[in-house]
Chains A and B, each alone.
Chain A
Amino acid sequence: MGDEKKSKQRDGSMVFESMYPLLALMLILVACVDLCDAATVVDVYRLVQYDISGVPFGSRFSSLNHHAASLSFQRGADLSRSVLILPLRELDLGFLQDYISQKQSLGGLLILLPQTLRPGNNIVLSETQGFRKLLAQLENLLVHANIPFPVYFAFENEETDAMLVDVKKNDALGQQATATTGGYKLVISVSEPRKIASPTITNIQGWLPGSRAEGDSNQLPTIAIVASYDTFGAAPALSVGSDSNGSGVVALLEVARLFSTLYSNPKTRGRYNLLFALTSGGPYNYEGTQKWLKSLDQRMRESIDYAICLNSVGSWDNELLVHVSKPPDNAYIKQIFEGFSNVAEDLGFQVALKHKKINISNSRVAWEHEQFSRLRVTAATLSELSTPPELLESAGSLSDTRQLVHEDAIIKGVKLVAESLARHIYGHQKKDIKIFADDSSLAVNPFNVRSWLDLLSQTPRVAPFLSKSEPLITALKKELEDYTAEVSVQHESLDGIFTFYDSTKASLNIYQVASVTFDLLLLLVLGSYLIVLFSFLVITTRGVDDLISLFRRPPSRKVKMV
């Protein structure tokens, strides 16, 4: 008997042991609770994260897994495990400022922007004007603060609206969304942001040589036209910078096209070389321009008569400003400005001269022409902005979308630059000639302007996130190759005081979750249902006595044993 028992036990244990791998597999399968497709998936764009000389700015985290809360939460509620959803319309800047400055903990912040601000959406609505100012203030606040929670921007759609209404209703009732009360859960699963190791800035230059006179062996003078094409904004994935500086790039390309047509015929080729440069690193004290200038051959740099930098020429009406760093009574500056104002008069608007001295001890470079001036090259910046922008300001913010730019403004700017250049090159300064007249073969092409502007308004161009072989850079290079004789691309690394972190775009999953109490309730209901079903079946098929006997069996056994 004992042997039998032992063998039985051994058999039993062997069976159990052979089940181990099966059990392990079952446990693994059970453990992988894969987050299946959520009902709602929304594209979200993260706030920029960067360091200046090691001092952190922007949002320092990227992944998110919390319940949703709205502004209607009860005062004093703990939001450290909630994501606050703020539509732009209801933004309370003071509240947000307090929250950030007092370093209160928040699970995350999701800012909902109206659909009209989406790149590619060209509907012009008057209500967006009020938003732009609010948006500018919000960006200013967020970009210059050190925020210890993830901040994301998203565009409103029906699903987010519905969710927000629900969340507000729940919050108003005082039901904080936690694990036990259900609600909405927002999940963004991305890895933690990493430093971008050595971000590259790419300068593209195009060289259009002039024609030398017979027997003249001297180097021809050069005129440079420069515009920086990269942007910086609160959300790098949305930073399209239509006006700053998409308008400048478009103007430069159009001027290049006009002069390439002129210079293609040897009879009309001028005695000046033309150098077109699309520089990067604009928002970071024009580092790209400085590196490009330093990489130029010394003789080439000395042959530059003057340089015109284009910065934000897309949304002005009557007056364009010429910013210089050399004093206005300098002969060269006078010449340049007179050229501009003569043409402007003919075209029906005004130009004004603004002088800002360079402060050598201050490392801040507010205008692109200052980089030229520091290397003793005469330069001026043509811009609609009257005051020099602060660091990282006016470089392509969220509100700088396609609707802000008028093609006419760019076309007027192109005419101004092209005519004044042509009059200088061909020596017709005082004459009343229109070289690029509207109905001629040298007219400014509005379709070209519009198509490039539309393209740039849909391409975010923050330099650290642009790779060396970025399609935009290839496109700009190809465009310059069509217009100029020699194009060269220069890759530099953005060293200096700025450090950037990746992870600019993500997908937000919105789950509608049920609370644990609901599950327990459901379990209770189901348990009672099964018990009722069991009793019903026992009664109908075996009789009531059997049901009662089920409960009476243990005592009856004891009775039998005795």
Chain B
Amino acid sequence: MTLFHFFNCAILTFGPHAVYYSATPLSEYDTLGTSVKAAVVYLATALVKLVCLATFLQVSETEVFDPYQEALKAMIGFIDVAGLYFALAQLTHRNISQNHKFQAVGLGWAFADSVLHRLAPLWVGARGLEFTWDYVLQGLEANANLVFTISLAALGSLMWLRKNKPKTLIPIIYTCAVIIATMPSITSYLRRVMGWHFPKVVGFELMTSLVMAFISCQLFILCQRPSL
């Protein structure tokens, strides 16, 4: 019975990635290689981030929100963005349209993130007798993360791969990208300072992810018009 719960949470956490791959034209153009490369880049980025965190951050015993520490964490979070840039711009992909490139990269990135952060707790925790809502909420968080990553990849591709953009839209693109990139800091601020519980934080993440996805979708469409 508890294995059942593990299975449920696993399909909630990793199902959407598979569904996204098979539902969109990504599967038709066989962009699996791109996704795998993006996942590898994510692994390398995570390693670099860990080393930086270990070197520069002080471990505090209490859950006190220290602005300097959080600012440092946010800066290290930008290593993520750098990694995404590398995956999008520097790696040579097969001849795929830009449209599909950012989706594949975002998908691979989000999948690697989910596996790294959520598979181990799920395996250890969800199989026990004790029932908690934690793993279901974690799965929902993984879904929100997927949307965030794809939006960030879209904005990233707009920023670095598209040369001619309408001037007015550039600041909006950059602000949205910054907001998405600093989401981890925002959630930790909510959890520690405002004292929000996990369900509330996950709800907030889901809402924001949908809003961000909508905005980045609109931006992408707007930017596509001049090239037509």
Whether chains A and B associate is yes
Chain B residues with CB under 8 Å of A38's CB are 128-130
Is there an interface contact between A522 and B136, defined as CB atoms closer than 8 Å?
yes
Is there an interface contact between A519 and B11, defined as CB atoms closer than 8 Å?
no
A523 interfacial contact with B, CB 8 Å: yes
> How many A-B residue contacts, CB cutoff 8 Å?
77
Chain B stretch 87-144: residues in CB contact (< 8 A) with chain A: 124-125, 127-132, 136
Q: A514-B5, A516-B1 are in contact. Are A36 and B128 (CB under 8 A)?
A: yes
A33 interfacial contact with B, CB 8 Å: yes
Chain A residues with CB under 8 Å of B3's CB are 30, 33
Is there an interface contact between A36 and B125, defined as CB atoms closer than 8 Å?
yes
Chain A stretch 484-536: residues in CB contact (< 8 A) with chain B: 511-514, 516, 519, 522-523, 526, 529-530, 533-535
Bitwise, A212-248 to B at CB < 8 A (1) or not (0) is 0000000000000000000000000000000000000
| B12 shortest CB reach to chain A, Å | 5
**In the bound complex, CA of A513 to CA of B132 (Å):** 9
**In the bound complex, CA of A33 to CA of B129 (Å):** 9
Chain B stretch 1-58: residues in CB contact (< 8 A) with chain A: 1-5, 7-8, 11-12, 15-16, 19-20, 22-25
Is there an interface contact between B130 and A511, defined as CB atoms closer than 8 Å?
yes
Is there an interface contact between A534 and B129, defined as CB atoms closer than 8 Å?
no
Is there an interface contact between A541 and B25, defined as CB atoms closer than 8 Å?
yes
Chain A residues with CB under 8 Å of B8's CB are 519, 522-523, 526
Contact partner of B4 (CB less than 8 A), chosen from A511, A519, A530, A538, is A519
| B189 shortest CB reach to chain A, Å | 28
Chain B residues with CB under 8 Å of A534's CB are 19, 22-23
A185 interfacial contact with B, CB 8 Å: yes
Smallest CB gap from B217: residue in A = A540
Chain B residues with CB under 8 Å of A519's CB are 1, 4-5, 8
Candidate in B25, B129, B132 with the most chain A CB atoms within 10 angstroms: B129
Chain A residues with CB under 8 Å of B20's CB are 533, 537
Bitwise, A312-356 to B at CB < 8 A (1) or not (0) is 000000000000000000000000000000000000000000000
Is there an interface contact between B130 and A537, defined as CB atoms closer than 8 Å?
no
Chain A residues with CB under 8 Å of B7's CB are 523
Smallest CB gap from A31: residue in B = B3
**In the bound complex, CA of A35 to CA of B124 (Å):** 10
Smallest CB gap from B28: residue in A = A542
**In the bound complex, CA of A35 to CA of B128 (Å):** 5
Is there an interface contact between B24 and A33, defined as CB atoms closer than 8 Å?
no
Candidate in B15, B24, B125, B131 with the most chain A CB atoms within 10 angstroms: B131
**In the bound complex, CA of A519 to CA of B127 (Å):** 13
Smallest CB gap from A29: residue in B = B123
**In the bound complex, CA of A534 to CA of B21 (Å):** 10
Chain B stretch 47-89: residues in CB contact (< 8 A) with chain A: none
Is there an interface contact between A179 and B23, defined as CB atoms closer than 8 Å?
no
Chain A residues with CB under 8 Å of B2's CB are 33
Is there an interface contact between B24 and A542, defined as CB atoms closer than 8 Å?
yes
User: When A and B form their complex, which 4 residue pairs have the shortest distance between CB atoms, in order from nearest?
Assistant: A537-B23, A36-B128, A514-B131, A511-B129
Residues of A within 8 A of B (CB): 30, 33-39, 179, 182, 185, 187, 511-514, 516, 519, 522-523, 526, 529-530, 533-535, 537-538, 541-542
A–B complex contacts, Cβ < 8 Å, 13 sampled: A35-B129, A36-B130, A38-B129, A185-B129, A513-B130, A519-B8, A522-B136, A530-B11, A533-B16, A533-B19, A534-B23, A537-B20, A538-B23
